[in-house]
Structure 1
Amino acid sequence: FSAIYCISTMGKTKNNATSIPNLLNSLKQAKSTADAQTYVAALEKYQDQELRPKSIIQIMACLNRAGFHQDAIKWFNCTNSTLKLNATAYTCAIIAHAKMRNGQLALQLLTNMQDKGINADRVACNAAISACERCGQWQKAFEVMEFMKVKGICRDIITCNTVISACAKAGEWQRAKQLMESMESEGIVADTITYSSMVSACDKAGEWQQALQVMQNMQSKGVQPNTITYSATISACAKGGQWQRALKLMEDMERKGLTANTITYSAAINACAKGGQWQTAVRLLRDMQNKGIPANTITYSAAISACEK
């Protein structure tokens, strides 16, 4: 009701320039999805009016922040043919495509920018890399990073972390490792996200020894592992049949005050299953229940597997 009332009130204003800012402000403060959708729908009536590129960018950015990525793309598509949109507008569209896992479309926009003589910046390239990462296209992610190098666009920690994450999903731990090593020479300091993604790459590839080495390296450099880092390392140990190492990592987590989650416990129980340690697996399952940590299908499957051996 509140959204409908606001729309009807704004409809009486004579100045469209004030209506759009009001709608955007209301969208930012919307307390329900229904209200937000009402404001988004109200904005659509301005699509066939002449608006400045700055207004289009503000609308697209607001829609992206509110999670209405498809609508942000609609605004870009309906105005791009009539207005000369700048790099910021293209970046907003690329971000929207990245959020929607439209990797090819995000890359196409990056190409379109070059064709129109619009220089892409680091934000646009990082958004395109994010789209590749979300779609599992690690090779394309590297291509965009190479494009940045050719164009003289300096990569940053976000660039590298996203590419390493793309490698992690594909189990390309060696490529991820090479990128980490090159970061040092450029003065880009690896953080917890970097190392966690690197460990995930090792986990995906079944390289438990490499995962442990990465964990050791990060701590020697003063970078503290988090639950994600530990969970991935425990998972890698499970795949390598290293149940004792997995349990040791669980102990390390508790000593450091880190909270194990469903993924952590599932990996540890799986490690016990592979090592024939059914009693320890059951103990871990009970520990989860006592701590109120929900078990999932993977957890129960691992526990059942442990009891069968």
Structure 2
Amino acid sequence: MPPRFSGANNGAFNGGGRGSAGRDQRDSYYGGGGSAGRDDGGADYQRRRSSSSYHGGGRGRGGRGRGGRDTGHSYRGDSGSSFRGARGDRRPSYYGDRDDRGGGRGGQQIIMGLDIQALVDRLVRPGCDVFRELGITRESNMAVFQSGKAVTAIISNLARRRNLRIANSVWDWIDHIGIEKNTFHYNSMISACEKVRDYNKALRLLAEMKEKKVSKNEVTFSSAISACEKCGQWRIALDLLDQMKKEGAGQTAIAYNAAISACEKGLVPHKALEIFDQMKREGVRPTVVTYSALISAAEKGQQWKLALEVLELMKAAGHGANVIAYSAAISALSKGQMWHKALELFREIESSGGKPSIVTYNATMTALEKGLQWERALDLFDEMKTKNMPVTVVSYGSAISACEKGLQYRQCLEYLDEMTEMGIKKNVIIFGAAMSCMEKSCRADIGFQLMERMRLEDVTPNVHIYNSAISACARCNLWEKGYELFEEMDRIGVNKDVVTYNAVLDAVSSQVELGRRLFKEGTYACEMF
């Protein structure tokens, strides 16, 4: 056994089987580095025979549930969905006599005879003179502009389109023609800042309201808090919540929900819980969004016990089996290695008459895969496809990671082929999980094919991919290829880590002099990590 390196700061690899690079730290599927894609649905699954394969000859089904399975650590931690503050809450309307037929990009919004949708369509056209267009429209619709409803509606429409540039031009036009800005104007503009994640401008607008003595209300603060939440500024969000109470601007669940979601983004579940307790003390009734956001905060903070406690509170409050909240709780359980309870919650949704979403399925599959229940995870994946649910890249990531646990390399390859057939783009996380499966299954030959496939699909291999490939060489006694991959990392600019050096030392264990040189190099490199 060659000497091994360890490193406290980078996921030290210690012992186990030869070159098991699967223990290095994995990227998450959600947020941060290496996002494998959002759970936003996809094409319905339709099974077809594969026309492109990663391996030669007739592969057959290889086993899963059909004559025995082929005789593993995951690349992912599916965190379910994110609960972004007031999403799902209904904010009060800014204006009354409006005929809103859809709004947004594809609907129609008429206020006192003015077609807001058509006007905004003209404003966003390339080369449009915003001041001139608004001036002409105002001349023929003076009443609605004098009431202030038109400008508010225009900015709100632009906010839904996330077009802050034109919204800023409209904002300047208001000053140009001398319209006095009121609370509703500021609310719509702060909401636009929220949509485009510009919390700094939202704060400047709040300061301007104070300077000009424009009154603020709960919508003002809710939008500003939500802007901070989306930018991860949880401390500022909490300060705004306190300011809202001091100014007596009203207290609704919307602002509290946004603050709780800000704590979720900041990974401070204890602060989220404090806000929740504060709500109850001050007589603000929590909504289902409140509970969902708090559960998500507990999940992000890896507090699965807290997530379950909040879920029970939600049910006791009569909110029933809310799929979003359950999905977040299941994700929290997956991080706590509590696959039994995760599966129990999944079935509880069904028994309560609810319908698990794609996020729920993915979260439960992750919990099962992390709990080494790879067969159950793959059965759940089959269930998704049987129900014609829109499987996503995250779904396949969970399934491939489950194959890794069960050394199901043939099934792993089938899933990769299915993704190609369905047009689901594979990324470095998917290939990483597949490479780890090949490594643990001692199929270095297929691993090399996967690396070539990555190049063909314009996916750049990362350190985890190389670690798995080098470890596969160690398992298969291919020291020359393992060392070649090790050298290749420098040529293409992939930084090595502790796992890399341990893997290559395993691979070249029969080459004494080379091993000594690499050990010296690794000793120095590990000191620099």
Instruction: Tell me whether the two structures share a fold, i.e. TM-score over 0.5.
Output: yes
* Greater Cα shift, 116-125 or 157-166: 116-125
Name the structure where helix makes up a greater proportion of residues.
Answer: 1
- Residues 291 and 10 (structure 1), Cα distance of their counterparts in 2 relative to 1, 3 Å cut: closer
- Residues 9 and 213 (structure 1), Cα distance of their counterparts in 2 relative to 1, 3 Å cut: closer
Aligned position for 2:412 = 281
Aligned counterpart in structure 2 of residue 53 of structure 1, from 144, 167, 183 = 183
2:133 is the alignment partner of 1:5: no
| Residue identity matched to 2:134 | M
Q: SS of the residue aligned with 2:407?
A: coil
Please list the CA deviations of residues 191-239 of structure 1 after superposition, one character each: whole Å capped at 9, or x if unmatched.
Answer: 1111111111111222222211111111111111111111111111221
Asked if the contact 2:366–2:398 (Cα under 8 Å) also holds between the matched residues in 1, the reply is yes
| Residue identity matched to 2:208 | C
- Residues 33 and 256 (structure 1), Cα distance of their counterparts in 2 relative to 1, 3 Å cut: closer
Q: SS of the residue aligned with 1:222?
A: coil
Distance 2:253 2:358 in 1: 30
Distance 2:155 2:250 in 1: 31
Distance 1:305 1:274 in 2: 9
Asked if the contact 1:164–1:197 (Cα under 8 Å) also holds between the matched residues in 2, the reply is yes
Please list the CA deviations of residues 233-261 of structure 1 after superposition, one character each: whole Å capped at 9, or x if unmatched.
Answer: 11112212221111100111112221211
Aligned position for 1:146 = 277
Q: SS of the residue aligned with 1:293?
A: coil
- Residues 266 and 109 (structure 1), Cα distance of their counterparts in 2 relative to 1, 3 Å cut: same
Asked if the contact 2:358–2:390 (Cα under 8 Å) also holds between the matched residues in 1, the reply is yes
- Residues 55 and 25 (structure 1), Cα distance of their counterparts in 2 relative to 1, 3 Å cut: closer
| Counterparts of residues 194-233 of structure 1 (less than 5 Å) | 194-233=325-364
Asked if the contact 1:173–1:198 (Cα under 8 Å) also holds between the matched residues in 2, the reply is yes
Aligned counterpart in structure 2 of residue 294 of structure 1, from 418, 425, 437 = 425
Q: SS of the residue aligned with 1:101?
A: coil
Q: SS of the residue aligned with 2:284?
A: coil
Instruction: Give the Å deviation of 1:160.
Output: 0.2
| Residue identity matched to 1:40 | N
- Residues 140 and 246 (structure 1), Cα distance of their counterparts in 2 relative to 1, 3 Å cut: same
Q: Which has the higher contact order (CA 8 A, sep 6+)?
A: 2
Aligned position for 1:18 = 145
Q: SS of the residue aligned with 1:114?
A: helix
Q: SS of the residue aligned with 2:285?
A: coil
| Counterparts of residues 172-191 of structure 1 (less than 5 Å) | 172-191=303-322
Instruction: Give the Å deviation of 1:47.
Output: 7.0
| Residue identity matched to 1:200 | S
- Residues 149 and 31 (structure 1), Cα distance of their counterparts in 2 relative to 1, 3 Å cut: closer
Distance 2:313 2:247 in 1: 32
* Greater Cα shift, 283-292 or 44-53: 44-53
- Backbone CA RMSD of aligned residues: 2.9
Please list the CA deviations of residues 84-109 of structure 1 after superposition, one character each: whole Å capped at 9, or x if unmatched.
Answer: 32333222211222222211111001
Instruction: Give the Å deviation of 1:23.
Output: 4.8
| Counterparts of residues 65-80 of structure 1 (less than 5 Å) | 65=195, 70-80=200-210
Aligned position for 2:381 = 250
Q: Which has the larger radius of gyration?
A: 2
2:408 is the alignment partner of 1:272: no
Distance 1:69 1:188 in 2: 32
Aligned counterpart in structure 1 of residue 296 of structure 2, from 165, 186, 201 = 165
* Greater Cα shift, 44-53 or 100-109: 44-53
| Residue identity matched to 1:115 | K
| Residue identity matched to 2:210 | N
Aligned position for 1:39 = 167
| Residue identity matched to 2:130 | C
Distance 2:398 2:432 in 1: 11
| Counterparts of residues 114-153 of structure 1 (less than 5 Å) | 114-153=245-284
Distance 1:134 1:59 in 2: 24
Asked if the contact 1:28–1:66 (Cα under 8 Å) also holds between the matched residues in 2, the reply is no
Gaps of 5+ in 1: none
Asked if the contact 1:177–1:198 (Cα under 8 Å) also holds between the matched residues in 2, the reply is yes
Distance 1:120 1:250 in 2: 44
How many residue pairs align between the two structures? 309
Asked if the contact 1:165–1:198 (Cα under 8 Å) also holds between the matched residues in 2, the reply is yes
2:291 is the alignment partner of 1:155: no
Please list the CA deviations of residues 97-123 of structure 1 after superposition, one character each: whole Å capped at 9, or x if unmatched.
Answer: 222221111100111122334442211
Instruction: Give the Å deviation of 1:62.
Output: 4.8
- Residues 75 and 305 (structure 1), Cα distance of their counterparts in 2 relative to 1, 3 Å cut: same
* Greater Cα shift, 171-180 or 80-89: 80-89
Distance 1:208 1:230 in 2: 13
Asked if the contact 2:295–2:307 (Cα under 8 Å) also holds between the matched residues in 1, the reply is yes
Aligned position for 2:392 = 261
Distance 1:46 1:101 in 2: 31
Asked if the contact 1:3–1:35 (Cα under 8 Å) also holds between the matched residues in 2, the reply is no
| Residue identity matched to 2:202 | A
* Greater Cα shift, 162-171 or 43-52: 43-52
Distance 1:85 1:29 in 2: 21
Distance 2:203 2:175 in 1: 12
Instruction: Give the Å deviation of 1:178.
Output: 0.8
Instruction: Give the Å deviation of 1:45.
Output: 6.3
